[in-house]
Structure 1
Amino acid sequence: MLKIGSHVSFSSKGLLSAANEAAEYGSSSFMIYTGAPQNTRRKPMDTMFIEEGKAKMTATGVDEIVVHAPYIINLGSYKEHTYELAVNFLQEEINRTHEIGVRNIVLHPGAFTDMDAEYGIKRIAAGLEEVLAGVKETDVNIALETMAGKGTEMGRSFEEIAKIMELVPHNDRLKVCFDTCHTHDAGYDLINNLDGVLEDFDRIVGLDRITVVHVNDSKNPVGAGKDRHTPIGSGWIGFEALNRLVNHEKLQGRPFILETPWIGKDAKKQRPMYEVEIALLRGDLSGRFGSGFVEDVEKMHHFFEGQGIEARSYVLDTWAVLKNDAKARKADPREPLERMYDLITADGLFGEMSEEQINLRLIAFLAGKQVL
């Protein structure tokens, strides 16, 4: 069975609340932070309902999950206090990950800030060596995430990932988290040349190093270096390319984790699209949502055909205008999903249906008729 899920919260009841949330989406894997990703405040692990969470995971068929390291860790910093914090805090997070029984912690490699890329690679490698030396009693792997290339962040090319690993002695516990949005934004053509990209990765780093895959669409064209996620099918990569990747024979057995943003007009009422995204990538839309949901999506197809709108072209054309035409963007900054939602509600196609219900159907619509 495809191991697929999303980032879920590790809140007041720790692993139990995370497992319960994941189950709501139909997940067979999921990813957590062991605390807030923006700070170092952490609750003791014995208050995090670990055994209760594991029992829930067993009951729902989840046998592998992933931890993500906090964003504040920067092993590439030349500032000693920042670097030391990164090393010490990452070691602490690895020990917490080990206590949960998780094998892989995802890490943004780091940024070189005021230095240069060569410095960043050497600094990150030295940091990883120091971190691993201090957690020898654990079996946790560090999965370096492929990055988009914004600012001075490292890991923006397969070569940078490989070079970092090469500089770390005894690097068998260094793995990779392959992020689709980041890799696309870094300039790798997942849409037209997925096999070629995977072959390049295998030659430069090794496909066996990939232990986690982050599945996200992108708000920007290939090579933009921006790192802005969007729900599956509503971005430049598109459902078809992401579906091929998730089901590619060379990537099977890994956990696939969605980090797509919650959506909705009111920021305080935004909702995730994980449940429908998981069902679509698993090829089980009707099984998860039922025939009535599928009929609603068919109605959407008829509606947009009547408007002269072809989904994929509409999405790409809208993003292109928002990117390239400042005047048009200022006049109408709405993204493709919001524009489609507004067309549907203006027509009254689904009466009193909630925004979340309509958006779930829109994500299914954007995947194309082949999923119905």
Structure 2
Amino acid sequence: MTTDPAPATTVAAVPSPAGPTDSSTPATIAAAATDKTGGATVEFVALRRSFGATTALDGLDLTVNPGELVALLGPSGCGKTTALRMLAGFETPDSGQVLVDGEDVTHLPAHRRDAGMVFQSYSLFPHLNARDNVAFGLKMRKTGKAERHRRADELLELVGLPTHGDRYPHQLSGGQQQRIALARALALQPRVLLLDEPLSALDAKVRENLREEIRRLQQELGITTLFVTHDQEEALSMADRVAVMHAGRLEQCDTPAELYARPATAFVAEFVGTMNRIPGVLAGDGATVELFGQRLPVDGATELRGDVDALVRPENVLLTAGGGQGALVVGTTFLGATTRVTVQLPDGTAVKADLSTHDAAALPAGTGVTVSFPERPVLVDTRR
């Protein structure tokens, strides 16, 4: 069951109380936005929200620093969209607070949040051309026609569509429609930008190009941004920090490199990247684990004892031909410079190892191998 409610697709940007600026180029728009927002600080404090018997958020605590892009990453139903909607003003928590620059906005209506939101479904008005879609929020704020068209044209240039102002949504590709939606969200120079899986409806190449564009604009504007996604590649490639959520709780929030190299929990380790579970036995004090006769230090304290699973990335699995372990190569997958080699252990466990393609060529299917590991700490979890 998915606990994150469907987005309110008719809303794309929340009006700001501030008036229009006299900016006249994309560069001055970016400068004005940076000056205006100053990079807002966003805080979720002990947020709780349930929908009937389903708990969507279970005490969420998270701080987003000024000008930072934080990705909320997790499986469907983990609460990431619920958290975003609470910041936007579309949901009210059962308890807890939402703070923006120290101001409690928990119970403020959406139109007073000074936030811009971009949805997965674009949510463009089909009867308006691109220019008027971008300028819609300015029109609602009673900005004059000439001024709002000038601002809209500047934003169209900022998102790389300066010649598309007269086109209607049905005349635009998916990627172009999402750029228009982004320009509309930025038109009112919000303090916070909220992106709810904005790339998931696009094909792979367009998605890759647009995520680079969003990141460029976010850095240029210096705007605090929350980005909801279930795609780990998007999160790791775009975010300053990634907040991994599971069952309404924050498992870990860290830089992409730290999250991948030093996951705090077994869930994070397996959700971010590929992870092997390899049977092992903990020493009596729980400080080391034995894998195929090799002792490795345990990463962090554990109350587990006896039989466990060690969590090891494929690039940290070493293979050499021969040996008496009974491990057998059962398949290979070419990945370019590296090849993923799948090895079956005597108990039936499949282990993946990422080797250079040159080294993997010497280990075709059917080769008996010895499995070993670098001398570095590993996470352990309950044996499955």
TM-score (norm: length of structure 2): 0.34
**Higher helix proportion:** 1
More strand by share: 2
Q: How high is the TM-score relative to the length of structure 1? A: 0.35
Q: Which has the larger radius of gyration?
A: 2
